[in-house]
Structure 1
Amino acid sequence: MKVLFVIQGEGRGHLTQALSLKQMLHNEGHEVVGVLVGKSPSRQLPGFFCDKIGVPVFPFESPNFLPSAKNKQVTILRSVGYNVCRGHKYLRSIAYINEMIKETKADVVVNFYEMLTGLTYLLFRPKAIMICIAHQYMFLHPEFEFPELNKISLASLKFFTKVTAIGSRKKLALSFRKMREVPRKGIVVVPPLLRNEVIEAKVAQGDYLHGYILNSGFSEEVKAWHTTHPQVCMHFFWDKKGAPQTVEIDEKLCFHQLDDAKFVQYMAGAKAYATTAGFESVCEAMYLNKPVLMVPTHIEQVCNAHDAMISGAGVANSTFDLDKLLTLSDTHRSNETFRHWVNQSSWLIMREFRSDLLMEPYVKTNFRRFATNWVYRISHRLPL
């Protein structure tokens, strides 16, 4: 089976998920024929992704949130205005996605939450089957618990998520924990897509804090905290355009450009982890038994942080107040239930790519899905 990936390239989460899924598909004998990555001109595609994906990567211009003037929180009104003005470029991107689906002769398109993929299926109706995969599809689950949010903002988030999935055969909703499937909405709840490097990492309890900041403006908050806590060692990662591989503020604080191997290495040996609440890195921290401080930059991450707290990941805050993270690290306990859930990801996700489940509507295959799940859990002595 030929598979084409289309990825929303904001941050690192969808990119590392694509690396994991590509390996799973390869192990099952499928071929990933190309990767399309939607990004804004202000973002650079991390070098580790292009090096490791092993197939041609084609960037295209896609709508993205704009950060504030201080490059921290996103600004919704500016983002909407900016993206409306660039609508003609996005129409060209939609046509490009359609042409690439034809050119690669893909049987299946895997959409990692890229809105323009849904619009491609709305306007051109490609023959390739589309499967959507992202944590954000949990927002369409009737039992997902949202934090206190503005009703208009919440409705907009759900609408955006639905647009990304127009024309999809099914939506694989990555989740911190097992929840029931929703056949009438085509929602299949699956574990996070963590890379082998994370699964196989040797965990240690170091004396430094690890972190990832999506928008480089947050580095000023980290530096400010560091001036009052100069004895605490910290290693933070960012994707600041034009910055060298490592910016050494002093012997205790360093900022590193995104590098997947180095990122996992520092995560595995850290005392605790601070992040802008992206789903993927929070899952990595949970799997490696690191407490997490989450500082959301937009509504999706607010929802991620709330969901992660329910699952025992850590705490959310409006700023990088690392005192809270140090306090949390003294009482944090490992989450073995989460680790068991993650360890089932390969078979649960690959099940959805079997030809018999792909070619029929989701609701018709629900009994077989339930039966295979029941047999697997009995054979592996897992709770039903």
Structure 2
Amino acid sequence: MRFLFIVQGEGRGHMTQAIAFYHLLRSQGHEVCGIIVGKSKRREIPDFFSREIKAPIHLVDSPNFVADKKQKKILLGKTIRKNALMAPTFWKSLKTIHQVVESRNPDVILNFYDLLGGLYNFLFRPNSRFWVIGHQYLIHHPEFIFAKGKPWDKFLFQLNTHLTALGAVQVLALSFLPKNDLINSKFRVVPPLLRKEVRKLEVKTEDFFLAYMVNPGYGEEVLAFAKSNPLVKIKAYWDKKSAKPIEYPLPNLSFHRVNDQTFLQDMAACKGLACTAGFESVCEAMYLSKPVLMIPVAGQYEQACNALDGEASGAGIASNSFDFSLLEKAEKKDTKVSFQFHQWVDSWPNILSELIVSAEQESGVKNPDGEFDSSPVFG
């Protein structure tokens, strides 16, 4: 089958998921005929993305969060206003997506949680089947844990998730742990998507903590902790455009521009990981049996939910700040639990085979009205 990806470019998580799914498809003889990535002025598309995926990559302007001046907290009001004013630009992006889809003619469009993906499928009605994948879709499962006390943020999170999946005929909800699927056969709980490099790493424990910040403003917190705790060694990674490849503000602290290879090597060697609560980084640490301190990005409700889900799944500790002393107290992962998590992650080849067989069967089965049965889950 021929797949075309639409990938949200905010942070690295959706891009690493796309890389993993690309290699998974290729291993079973399927083709990825193109990648559309929603770009952001705040971040660059990392080199490892184009290096790992051997398919044409098209960049389009896509809705993104607006952060405060310190590049730390997400400002929801300004995010909504700015993206609304950019509606004409996003319409051009939708037409660009349509041109790519028409020229590539994929069997399946797979959306990695980009808002334009859902809007494109709803407005342009392509002949391709429309699938969506992401941890966010787990909100439709009765066991999902919502952060309390923020009803407006919760509503916007649910609305955005719904819009990204408009007209989807297959919803793949990434989950830390296995859960029972819902009655709707088009909704499926699936394992995290981890790149093959993670599985090949040699796990050891050296005398340093690792940090990852999706917003560079959190660097001030890490710097403050390192100053107050000179005996604690920290390697911190961030996605700051103006930063040098490596900076050494203190003898016990270094800041590194995001590099997929060195970051994973350091994760395999660290005592524990402190990170903003992105799903993918937490899963990588779980696979390597490293305790995780999860700090939700301020103003980003989705990450508050991620931290609660990660804590309930045994990934580590949820916190409001980069307090590495909490990691000092964290226990190493139980061997049995780690083995079960490995089995869950490694079950992807069988799951993909089942999805492909189901898609092929559905594409050839007509409903009683004589039309192909491709009823969407949402929209």
Structure 1 and Structure 2 fold alike (TM over 0.5): yes
Q: Secondary structure at the match of 1:353?
A: helix
Contact 1:41 / 1:61 at 8 angstroms: preserved in 2? no
| 2:133 counterpart SS class | strand
* 1:326 maps to amino acid: E
Distance in 1 between residues matched to 2:76 and 2:26, nearest whole Å: 39
Quote how far apart the aligned CAs of 1:74 are: 0.6
For residues 35 and 331 of structure 1, the distance between their equivalents in structure 2, rounded to whole angstroms, comes to: 38
Q: Could you tell me whether the CA contact under 8 Å between 2:227 and 2:250 is conserved in 1?
A: no
Match of 2:204 in 1: 204
Q: Does 1:242 align with 2:242?
A: yes
Residue equivalent to 2:317: 315
1:86: how far off?
A: 1.0
Match of 1:359 in 2: 363
Q: Give the conservation status (yes or no) of the 8 Å contact 1:64–1:79.
A: yes
Give CA-to-partner distance per residue, 1:12-45, whole Å, 9 cap, x none. 1110111110011111111111111012222211
Match of 1:256 in 2: 256
How do 1:54-69 residues align onto structure 2 when only pairs under 5 Å count?
Answer: 54-69=54-69
Report if aligned partners of 2:37, 2:60 keep a CA contact under 8 Å in 1. Answer: yes
Q: Which amino acid aligns with 1:343?
A: D
Tell me the residue number matched to 1:85: 85
Aligned equivalents of 1:349 and 1:210: distance in 2? 33
Q: Which moved more, 1:37-46 or 1:221-230?
A: 37-46
The amino acid that maps onto 1:307 is: D
Shift of 1:358: 5.3
State the match for 2:329 in structure 1.
327
Instruction: For 2:316, give the aligned amino acid.
Output: G
Matched residues in 1 for 2:29 and 2:175: separation?
26
- Mapped to 2, the partners of 1:182 and 1:107 lie a distance apart of 25
Supply the distance in 2 between the matched residues of 1:360 and 1:213 (Cα, whole angstroms): 46
CA–CA distance in structure 2, aligned partners of residues 316 and 28 of structure 1: 38
Report the Cα distance in structure 2 between the residues aligned to 1:228 and 1:286, rounded to whole angstroms. 28
Q: CA, structure 1 residues 306+322, in 2 after alignment: closer, same or farther (shift >3 Å)?
A: same
- The alignment status of 1:157 with 2:160, answered yes or no, reads no
SS at match of 1:168: coil
Question: Shift of the alpha carbon at 1:275?
Answer: 0.5
SS at match of 1:171: strand
Secondary structure of the corresponding residue to residue 184 of structure 2? helix
Q: 2:362 and 2:244 mapped to 1: Cα distance?
A: 45
Q: Deviations over 1:299-333 (max 9, x none)?
A: 111111100000011111111111112222x4654
1:182 CA drift (Å): 1.8
Q: Structure 1 residue 249: deviation in Å?
A: 2.0
Q: Indicate whether 1:17 and 2:17 are aligned.
A: yes
The alignment-based identity, stated in percent, is: 39
Distance 1:350 1:243 in 2: 43
For 2:153 and 2:164, the matched residues in 1 are separated by: 17
Residue in 1 that maps onto 2:344: 341
2:42 counterpart of 1:39? no
Aligned to 1:73: 73
Is 1:272 the counterpart of 2:272 in the alignment?
A: yes
**Whole-Å separation in 2 of the counterparts to 1:349 and 1:358:** 15
Please say if residues 24 and 350 of structure 1, whose CA atoms lie closer than 8 Å, have aligned partners that are also in contact: no
Letter in 2 for 1:54: K
Shift in alpha-carbon separation, 1:116–1:325, aligned structure 2, 3 A? same
Partner Cα distance (2:89, 2:53) in 1: 26
Q: How far 1:230 moved relative to its partner?
A: 1.3
Letter paired with 1:27? S
C-alpha displacement at 1:339, in angstroms?
A: 2.1
Match of 1:146 in 2: 146
TM-fit CA distance, 1:185: 7.2
SS in structure 2 of the partner of residue 109 of structure 1: strand
Q: Distance in 2 between matches of 1:123 and 1:228?
A: 54
**Coordinate RMSD, CA, aligned:** 1.7
Q: Are 1:140 and 1:158, in contact at CA under 8 Å, matched by a contact in 2?
A: no
- Where does the alignment leave 5 or more consecutive residues of structure 1 unmatched? 362-384
Aligned equivalent of 1:304? 306
Question: 1:121-152, CA deviations, whole angstroms, 9 ceiling, x for partnerless residues?
Answer: 11110001111111110012223122314222
CA distance in 2, matches of 1:107, 1:148: 40
Q: Which runs of 5 or more residues in structure 2 are unaligned?
A: 366-379
